[in-house]
Amino acid sequence: MSRKFEGDQILVATHNAGKLQEITEILAPFGVKVVGAAEMNLPEPEETEDTFVGNARIKAHAAAQATGLPALSDDSGITIDALDGAPGVYTADWAETGNGRDFMMAMTRANDEITAKGPDAPRSAQFRCTLVLAWPDGHDEVFEGVMAGDLVWPIRGEAGFGYDPMFMPEGYDVTCAQMDKAEKNRISHRGRAVSAFIKGCFSG
């Protein structure tokens, strides 16, 4: 069934367990063995670029070079219209405490900064995901996905990870943290990007 990965492993170059679970579930029907970065004892590279694709390239190439496996990385985040696209590539940084990540703090900051723009500030935002598939020979392929929605307050739901409890996708009246996994994967930035990857790599 698979054109490029038949009988092979693909390394998913992320240390985020939520991402790894989503990507593993979306790829499950395609007969490719998914291995995570933590399982391979890979270090977490520094994300020094100011674009999603730049940081996705750093993560994917580091993992492919270290293992000799094709490596698929995910760089993602949220762009908030009222904040001119912030936090964007710095979405994870907003949750950083110096002692692990605190997404309640990050979501509170997002809500506070929108609220500070005034009562007419839009609540619209986009989740964005850039996947880079890096090959051990040094070439790569890029796949992207976007999900539009609104940021709600107070937060709702327990499922998912990161900013899911405040993100209500367009056309829904529940947040990503109130959806089952399959539904989120069907519409999400990551689900769309992984679908593009599947089209590119499993349908030849």
Write out the residues near ligand Y43 by the rule CB under 6 A: 14-16, 19, 44, 47, 59, 74-77, 91-92, 95, 127, 160-164, 176, 188, 190
The residue number whose beta carbon is nearest to Mg ion equals: 92
Chain Cα centroid distance, residue 90: 13
**Residue for token pair 């500070």:** 116
Residue 112 annotated among the catalytic residues of the structure: no
Nearer to ligand Y43 (CB atom), residue 1 or residue 105: 105
Q: Which does 95 bind (CB under 5 to 8 A by kind): Mg ion, ligand Y43, none?
A: ligand Y43
Q: Which does 144 bind (CB under 5 to 8 A by kind): ligand Y43, Mg ion, none?
A: none
d(CA 200, CA 65): 22
Helices (H), 28-162: 52-67, 103-116
Report, in Å, the least distance between residue 19 CB and ligand Y43: 6
Near Mg ion by CB under 5 A, which window of 29-37, 88-96, 136-144, 162-170? 88-96
Six token digits for residue 167: 């993100």
Q: Which amino acid is at 148?
A: A
CA distances (Å), origin 35, targets 13, 31, 67, 105: 8, 13, 11, 31
Q: Which does 15 bind (CB under 5 to 8 A by kind): Mg ion, ligand Y43, none?
A: ligand Y43
Backbone angles phi, psi at 11, to 5 degrees: -90, 125
Report, in Å, the least distance between residue 100 CB and ligand Y43: 12
Q: Which does 61 bind (CB under 5 to 8 A by kind): ligand Y43, Mg ion, none?
A: none
Nearer to Mg ion (CB atom), residue 47 or residue 183: 47
Write down the catalytic residue from 75, 81, 112, 150. 75
Helices (H), 68-178: 103-116
Report, in Å, the least distance between residue 158 CB and Mg ion: 23
Q: Is 123 annotated as a binding residue?
A: no
In 3D space, the residue among 1, 133, 3, 4 whose CA is nearest the CA of residue 75 turns out to be 133
Helices (H), the chain: 17-27, 52-67, 103-116, 181-187, 189-202
Report, in Å, the least distance between residue 12 CB and ligand Y43: 9
Six token digits for residue 79: 């762009």
Give the residue numbers marked as catalytic: 75
Which residues form the interface with Mg ion (CB under 5 A)? 92
